[in-house]
Structure 1
Amino acid sequence: MLPFRFIHAADLHLDSPFAGMSGLTDRVRKHLQQSTFIALDRMVQLAVREKVDFVVISGDVYDSSNTSLRAQLRFMEALEMLDREHIPVFIIHGNHDPLDSPRLAVTLPPLVHVFGPVPESVTVVRRRDGQEVSVITGMSYLTSKVKENISLRYNKKAGASELFHIGLLHANVDGNQEHETYAPCSKKDLNTAGYHYWALGHIHSRRTLQESPYIVYPGNIQGRNIRETGPKGCYLVDVDETGAVAMDFRELDTVRWFDMEVSIGDCRHPEDLRLNVERLLTDISESYTTGFSMVRIRITGRGSIHRELEDGFILEDLLIDLRRKVDNQAGTVGFAGCVWVESFCLSSGAEIQLETLLQEDSFIGELLRLAETELAGDIGSDSVIGHALRPLMDQPEIRLLLTGSTREEQREWLRRAMELTALLLLDDQEAGGASA
């Protein structure tokens, strides 16, 4: 077997709209919308700089079937540049950009191969000497809803046992709950095919499911929301004479997402919280000096300022001020090292001894124990909470909110309601004692 090198990328989602984000300035929104294109450019530069023999892209080149003209033109530019450098590109399309999507009728560069709706195999040669080194097998989604196990249709090419076999597949392996179940399959299914490396797409978090054979998700090349935190990019893969694989993750993103916590435990005044938040933002900026950071800050812990934060005005004013400073900084020196607060999430609590109250033989103790039981179970129609919410389900807006919420969101609502109820009852007790 001859040594060679390739790039494995997936889920480019070019021209992602970054929907659902509020409070963005025009400058920041424009930078976000350019980020997927910058990541693509960086991938091309990496391929040229590292002299790779080929590039594989495992689905979802575009963000939706209604592909923007800008995304198509920018992708064609990237393919043409790779073609000029004599770097072949092998592409499959996934659920976001199936083959039946309306797109420009263009002539692809000679070294670009897009796999069709049935599995096919292509033999790849090494750039420097034209020697055959690998067989790539792949298939694209014809439509966006591929629910069958298409991995069972992949077969190892006969008569090429001395070559390294790569399978391109856009699929949900072993039922990852974070993504929709398209082309569901198992590691056992992939092992049966006899390939050396499965170049997967669809799951946006980087992970290696197995090393013999390699079953790899590189993640997307650019994070697009708070669920896609951490560095994003692609794998630079080296295969040696024995067929051994060495993977090197390379960052491509220019915007990075963080989900962080700041505790109010040591805060006696809102100013203390502001200083803690600014220290966190400085730490993030120093950890990612070359790009733009987006952070959601979860306010946690228990402290005396929790009640002041409950009305939302303090956090709203702080958010506006922090964003103003970042927008001014970006307009002056650029986005590198800037940190934008995507939102504050209030998960803190008041200074009450819940554990002590839970043990009390009192009305408050009994009420809190009931709430703890509800927290531990499912908030179904037969639960105490379910019965309490039933009259509200007649209101369309509330019904939509409740049915669209996650279990974690429901738990957070119940936890905060539990604390607020305990505080109100304790205040009543104190007021009653004072009047007596």
Structure 2
Amino acid sequence: MIPFRFLHAADLHLDSRFAGLAHIPPAVRSILRESTFAALGRLVGVAIKEQVDFVVISGDVYDVSDSSLQGQLRFQEALQELGRHNISVFLIHGNHDPLDGPRLAGTPQDHVTVFGSDTPGQVTAHRRSDGLEVAIVSGLSYPTAKVTENTARTFERKPGSGLFHIALHHCNVDGDPQHETYSPCSRRDLIERGYDYWALGHIHTRRILQERPFIVYPGNIQGRSIKETGPKGCYVVDVDEDGSSSLQFHELDVVRWQVRDISIQGLHDEAQWIDAVEQAVEDIREEYPQLMSVVRFRLTGRGAVHRLLAEKGAAADLLGELQRREGIRAEQKAYQGLVWTEGFSVESGIEIDRERLLQEDSFLGEMLRVADRSKESKEELDQLVRSALAPLMENRELRRLLSETGEDEKLAWLERAAELGVTLLSTVEEPGSDEGTSVREHEEGRSYENSASGN
């Protein structure tokens, strides 16, 4: 087998809308709106620098089916740049940019192959240095936005060829609950098709599901909400003489979304808490000087500062000030080193003796015991959530949202509900007071989140 190199990317979501942008300064909004295009530029740069023989893009080039004129022009520009370096491109369309969506009419580019939707197409890929045949690339696009059948089973490896076989597919393998179940299939379905490398798209989290054969989600190239944290990018894949593959991940994002924990444990007053938050902002700025960071601070632990956060609205006040400062920075320079605080998630609590409460024969003790049991059992957690939300389930939309809610999110609901119960039901002794005072912190568990996250 002839050795070669290719780049695998997916879910470009060019010109993403970034829901809620009306509530942030224009300079910050402009950076976010440009970020998917900047990531595309980096992708082209990696392909050229790494001297790949070709690029495969596994769906959702655009963010919506009626893709913007700007998005289409910028993508055509990127394809032309790859063509100038003799780099071929093979791509499919997914649920966000199906083939029935409106597109610019233009002259097809010889180095670009867009696979159709009837049956998986098969095209030979060449090594760009000498034109030798190195791979058979297959792909299947979405004809419309919703493809609910298992289209993986329509793929068939071309017989009688000693070339490396790559399949492009936009699908949900093994029913990932965080994404729509479009083109659902199993890992076994893919393995049985006989391909050497499955270049997947649709799931925005980077995953290598299998290595023999390789079944790979590269994730999206630019995070777009607090649900899409961490580095985003593409894989450069080297295939050697034996047909073995090695993968190298390349970061492409220019805006990095992240969640950072700040414990209030040991913080005695508002000034100490503000110092801790401001130091965390500067730590992120130092850690990612070449990126814009969008961060949600998760406030954890137990301590005296909790009441300031929940009852007196200190988190909301500080959020406004931090955003004001970064808005000024955004107007003065480019995105590098910008740290936009997307929000605070108040998951802290008052100081309690939890072990003692767990032993008590009281309503509060029983509530904590139920919460602990539900954390350990998926069945008990599901039953508790269904029971608690039963009065709301006549609403069809709420039923749908609950069915799409993952176990981690349900556990987060449980944690916040338990903490709220502790706060409302506990009696704590006020500093400087000789008698107990009932603490009713109605804002417990509230997230002070900027609407730019779209969540």
**What is the TM-score when the length of structure 1 is the normalising length?**
0.90
Q: Relative to 1, partners in 2 of residues 1:432 and 1:270: Cα closer, same or farther, differing over 3 Å?
A: closer
SS of residue paired to 1:159: coil
Determine the structure 2 residue equivalent to 1:126: 127
Matches within 5 A, 1:1-150: 1-20=1-20, 23-117=23-117, 118-150=119-151
How far apart are 1:270 and its partner, in Å? 1.1
User: CA–CA distance in 2 between the matches of 1:367 and 1:116?
Assistant: 56
Q: Runs ≥4 in structure 1, deviation > 6 angstroms?
A: 392-405
SS of residue paired to 1:182: coil
User: CA–CA distance in 1 between the matches of 2:280 and 2:398?
Assistant: 35
User: CA–CA distance in 2 between the matches of 1:40 and 1:401?
Assistant: 32
**Alpha-carbon deviations, 1:342-367, whole Å to 9, x = none?**
00000000012132122123455456
How far apart are 1:203 and its partner, in Å? 0.7
Contact 2:298 2:345 in 1 (8 A): yes
Determine the structure 1 residue equivalent to 2:155: 154
SS of residue paired to 2:173: coil
User: CA–CA distance in 1 between the matches of 2:386 and 2:54?
Assistant: 58
Higher relative contact order (CA 8 A, sep 6+): 2
Letter in 2 for 1:377: L
Q: Relative to 1, partners in 2 of residues 1:317 and 1:432: Cα closer, same or farther, differing over 3 Å?
A: closer
Letter in 2 for 1:274: I
User: Are residues 1:242 and 2:246 paired?
Assistant: no
User: CA–CA distance in 2 between the matches of 1:98 and 1:227?
Assistant: 24
User: CA–CA distance in 1 between the matches of 2:103 and 2:316?
Assistant: 43
**Alpha-carbon deviations, 1:269-289, whole Å to 9, x = none?**
011111111222222222212
**Alpha-carbon deviations, 1:140-199, whole Å to 9, x = none?**
010111111111111111232x11110001111122122111111112111111111111
Tell me whether 199-208 or 77-86 shows the greater mean CA deviation. Answer: 77-86
Please point out which of 410, 423, 426 is paired with 2:426.
Answer: 423
User: CA–CA distance in 2 between the matches of 1:254 and 1:366?
Assistant: 48
User: CA–CA distance in 2 between the matches of 1:294 and 1:12?
Assistant: 19
Q: Relative to 1, partners in 2 of residues 1:299 and 1:130: Cα closer, same or farther, differing over 3 Å?
A: same
**Alpha-carbon deviations, 1:106-145, whole Å to 9, x = none?**
2221111100002110011111111111100011010111
SS of residue paired to 1:199: strand
Determine the structure 2 residue equivalent to 1:348: 348
**Alpha-carbon deviations, 1:240-293, whole Å to 9, x = none?**
111121111111110001111100001100111111112222222222121100
User: Unpaired runs of 5+ in structure 1?
Assistant: none
Determine the structure 2 residue equivalent to 1:302: 302
Please point out which of 411, 414, 426 is paired with 1:411.
Answer: 414
User: CA–CA distance in 2 between the matches of 1:400 and 1:202?
Assistant: 20
Matches within 5 A, 1:306-345: 306-311=306-311, 313-345=313-345
Letter in 1 for 2:423: L
Q: Report sequence identity in percent.
A: 51
Determine the structure 2 residue equivalent to 1:273: 273
User: Are residues 1:377 and 2:381 paired?
Assistant: yes
Contact 1:379 1:386 in 2 (8 A): no
Contact 1:260 1:297 in 2 (8 A): yes
SS of residue paired to 2:18: coil
SS of residue paired to 1:377: helix
SS of residue paired to 1:420: helix
Q: Relative to 1, partners in 2 of residues 1:227 and 1:304: Cα closer, same or farther, differing over 3 Å?
A: same
Q: CA RMSD in A?
A: 2.8
User: CA–CA distance in 2 between the matches of 1:339 and 1:49?
Assistant: 29
Q: Relative to 1, partners in 2 of residues 1:167 and 1:381: Cα closer, same or farther, differing over 3 Å?
A: closer
SS of residue paired to 1:234: strand
Letter in 2 for 1:115: F
Q: Relative to 1, partners in 2 of residues 1:272 and 1:21: Cα closer, same or farther, differing over 3 Å?
A: farther
User: CA–CA distance in 2 between the matches of 1:316 and 1:287?
Assistant: 25
How far apart are 1:386 and its partner, in Å? 5.1
SS of residue paired to 2:225: coil
How far apart are 1:371 and its partner, in Å? 6.0
Q: Relative to 1, partners in 2 of residues 1:149 and 1:365: Cα closer, same or farther, differing over 3 Å?
A: closer
**What is the TM-score when the length of structure 2 is the normalising length?**
0.87
Letter in 2 for 1:156: R
User: CA–CA distance in 2 between the matches of 1:275 and 1:141?
Assistant: 51
**Alpha-carbon deviations, 1:33-70, whole Å to 9, x = none?**
00000011111121122221110000000001121111
How far apart are 1:330 and its partner, in Å? 2.7
How far apart are 1:103 and its partner, in Å? 1.7
Determine the structure 1 residue equivalent to 2:453: none
Contact 1:299 1:346 in 2 (8 A): yes
Letter in 2 for 1:113: T
